[in-house]
């Protein structure tokens, strides 16, 4: 069977019309057309394919008897954490920030929209980064497309931050607190080889 992730090297029937496929690199679940119509339209895949990382949870939510109790619980947690707005639309339930990692991140991004937000970081293994420091690439939140991380390279700024201060999510509110530097060329420090 050919899947969206390549040729299948294994399959497991979860229930009639619901089959899990594996491939050498990825996998997912296929739901036959008539059953696929039972999946809520905001989550429904037109082709009936649901990848194994997060989308499988949509299938487990709609066809709970095809999954174990532990898998059903994991599916609910996955949907709340990675697709909370659609979860609320489907269930009518109201989620709070403590219920969903995605909502917490969304709130944080809005709170720091006018601050510099980290998009990349390198430790002191990077050439030019002093011991105990983190080299961070920052961009003002309102200039960053959070959906695909696209931004204008000219908006990037670079800072050295003490390791003790660098905790994710990370934003710089006071731009004078850290040393701003020029962009470092990519490279790792050479390590001394032991004999």
State residue 149's pLDDT score: 63
Of 183, 187, 179, nearest to 124 (Cα)? 187
pLDDT of 104 reads: 92
Please state, in angstroms and as integers, the Cα–Cα distance from residue 17 to each residue in 7, 8, 35, 44, 71, following that order. Answer: 19, 17, 7, 15, 19
Judge whether 188 and 124 are in contact, CB under 8 Å: no
Return the pLDDT at 192. Answer: 40
pLDDT value at residue 194: 44
Q: What is the mean pLDDT of each run of 10 residues along the chain (195 residues)?
A: 92 97 94 98 97 96 97 97 96 96 90 91 91 94 72 89 94 94 79 45
DSSP code for 154: G
Residue located via tokens 């990037």: 156
Q: How many residues does the chain have?
A: 195
Domain ranges of the chain: 2-99, 112-181
3-state helix/strand/coil string of 15-54: ECCEEEEECCCCEEEEECHHHHCCCCCCCCCCCCEEECCC
């Amino acid at each position: 069977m050919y899947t969206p992730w390549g040729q299948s090297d294994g399959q497991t029937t979860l229930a009639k019309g619901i089959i899990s496929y594996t491939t050498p690199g990825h996998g997912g679940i296929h739901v036959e057309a008539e059953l696929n119509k039972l999946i809520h339209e905001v989550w429904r895949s037109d082709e009936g394919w649901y990848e194994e990382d997060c989308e499988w949870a949509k299938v487990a939510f709609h066809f709970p008897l095809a999954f174990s109790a532990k898998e059903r619980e994991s599916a609910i947690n996955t949907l709340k954490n990675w697709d909370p707005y659609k979860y609320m639309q489907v269930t009518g339930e109201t989620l709070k920030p403590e219920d969903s990692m995605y909502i917490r991140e969304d709130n944080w991004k809005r709170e720091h929209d006018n601050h510099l937000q980290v998009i990349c970081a390198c430790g002191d293994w990077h050439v030019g980064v002093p011991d105990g420091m983190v080299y961070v690439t920052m961009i003002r939140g309102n200039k960053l497309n959070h959906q695909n991380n696209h931004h204008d390279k000219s908006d990037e700024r670079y800072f050295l931050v003490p390791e003790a201060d660098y905790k994710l999510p990370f934003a710089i509110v006071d731009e004078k607190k850290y040393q701003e530097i020029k962009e470092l060329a990519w490279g790792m420090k050479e390590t001394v080889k032991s004999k």
